[in-house]
Amino acid sequence: MRLKLLIDADMFAFIACTTATREAEWESGISSYFADFEEVKAHFTDGLHTAIDRALGWHRYNGDYDILLCLSDPEDNFRRRVLPTYKAHRKGQKPLCYWKLCDWMKKEGDVYIRPSLEADDCIGILATMEKNRDNCLIISGDKDMKTLPGRQYDFLRDTYAELSTEDADRNFLMQTLTGDPTDGYSGCPKVGAVSAARILDEDCSWTAVVRAFEKQHLTAEDALTQARVARILRAEDYDFTRREVRLWTPYAKPLTVAERRVLQQTLQQWRHKKVSWLMDTFGDIDHTLVCLGNMSERGQVIKFYKDGIFQGILAFDVGHVWWTPHRVCTELFVLATEGAYGFQREAAQQLDLIAQDYGAKLIVAGNMFQKNNALIGNGYKKTRIPSGVRHLRKGGTRMKDNNERDIPYVSKELCEYLRERFSLQNIVRDFDDKAPADRIIGSIAGVNNIIETLEEIQLMQEERDGLRG
């Protein structure tokens, strides 16, 4: 099998064009820059062939190979939608002959370029595709390549490395913590390379990264933003059908053998319970596990852990359906392992985050399995939430008043919100977690903004709970 050489053509082109650029001073005293395109091409091909020879020497390979020239999309970069400051200072002009050289590469070579992706992302996607994983060599001078698993040659430093997935994941978390000011993202304040290494030596996990951000009075969302711009895409981060980026999400990783075994045991336990006629008649555990495994490889499965214990999964999809022109986020399957409770709320919160990431205007919830409920089918639209209030989702039977009418449900989160915003400690302190909203409203009659807030919460709960099957 021929070896695939994945080339950071952006970097080689920039060096070639810069090297061939000359300054001329005319008799009038005016100075200008010029470049001979033939010289630019010569610098490019000489530099590329030298790097390939050195890389193959390090790799100890003397067989046939194919060259893939990876280039950045000149029109768009998805990271700027995640973080507007990303490479904001690099909007200047490229060196002379740069775009002409790129056009020449497209005519003469095998170029890989995708909408909104950088050359690094193209390399990362190609290098981590199953068919290429053990049959490619990355050639670049970018130190960020260390966040990718696989074999790679750094032609600027003349070094060769073979990184495991664990090594690459650690380097990715390190990059999230330290940031890269030259690329316009800062990482975690007051965390440099030494302190980041210390954090990951103690606990090399996303949880540790979030703790570091929270220690600096930032949030998990702030950490996630930094991670998403720091991450060089891998095959699991890209939807090849839609040609879209799947923004990195913690725990959206391929299911491990141990996790699949737990899911298999959970499904087998459900086989002995009367969940639904549909599942009892047509459900196939082996088929389900294969499909969930494939989906997890594509980044469509979110895994949930609590105190280091696997709690279950959320399988989802984002796209267009026949009944609306809007993009829809669909919950395909939620499975809580034995002993896991309160899973609907956590899954719903994740669906909201996924919908925000993909710009979906509608969320359709489908199948949830948990010990204390049967097959649930429902749908709900996204609702504007008052600032500071988390998404609320109430299971079980609706509360009734003396006339058997449904009354609003007030959660502990809402009480905390009111206490903070309106300083009503003496009022809400007397109410428990499930105090009816009308009692609170009666205690604070005349405060219009509080009534409006409660009404918004009530509408949201009606939309979510009222549409459940």
Provide DSSP, 381-419: E--PPPTT-------SSPPB-TTS-B--B--HHHHHHHH
Contact 127, 138 (CB under 8 A): yes
Contact 9, 69 (CB under 8 A): yes
Q: Rounded to whole angstroms, how far apart are CA atoms 440 and 415?
A: 10
Looking at per-residue pLDDT, the higher value among 70 and 320 belongs to 70
Q: Rounded to whole angstroms, how far apart are CA atoms 98 and 14?
A: 7
Per-residue pLDDT, 97: 96
Looking at per-residue pLDDT, the higher value among 69 and 240 belongs to 69
Contact 5, 66 (CB under 8 A): yes
pLDDT per residue as tens digits for the range 360-397: 878 877 554 444 333 333 333 333 333 333 333 333 34
Q: Rounded to whole angstroms, how far apart are CA atoms 337 and 144?
A: 38
Per-residue confidence band for 216, with pLDDT thresholds at 50, 70 and 90: very high
Residue % of the chain over a pLDDT of 70: 75
Q: What is the pTM of this model?
A: 0.68
Per-residue confidence band for 278, with pLDDT thresholds at 50, 70 and 90: low
Residues 279-289 have a mean pLDDT of 83
DSSP 180: B
End-to-end CA distance of the chain: 54
Backbone phi, psi, residue 120, to 5°: -55, -40
Per-residue pLDDT, 438: 45
Which helix (H) or strand (E) segment holds residue 296: the answer is: helix 285-297
User: Which residues on adjacent β-strands are paired with residue 35?
Assistant: 21
Look-up: residue for tokens 């299911």? 255
Per-residue pLDDT, 419: 46
Per-residue pLDDT, 362: 83
pLDDT per residue as tens digits for the range 61-94: 999 999 999 999 999 999 999 999 998 877 667 9
281, with CB counted inside 10 A (0-12, 13-18, 19+), is exposed
Query: In the Cβ-directed half-sphere of 225, how many Cα atoms lie within 13 Å?
Result: 19
Residues 270-279 have a mean pLDDT of 67
> Angle between the 285-297 and 257-271 helix axes, to the nearest 10 degrees?
150
Which CA distances in Å does 395 have to 47, 276, 347, 381, 392? Answer: 64, 19, 13, 17, 10
**Encoded tokens for 168:** 């690459």
Which range among 184-193, 318-327, 338-347 shows the weakest confidence by mean pLDDT?
338-347
User: Which residues on adjacent β-strands are paired with residue 24?
Assistant: 32
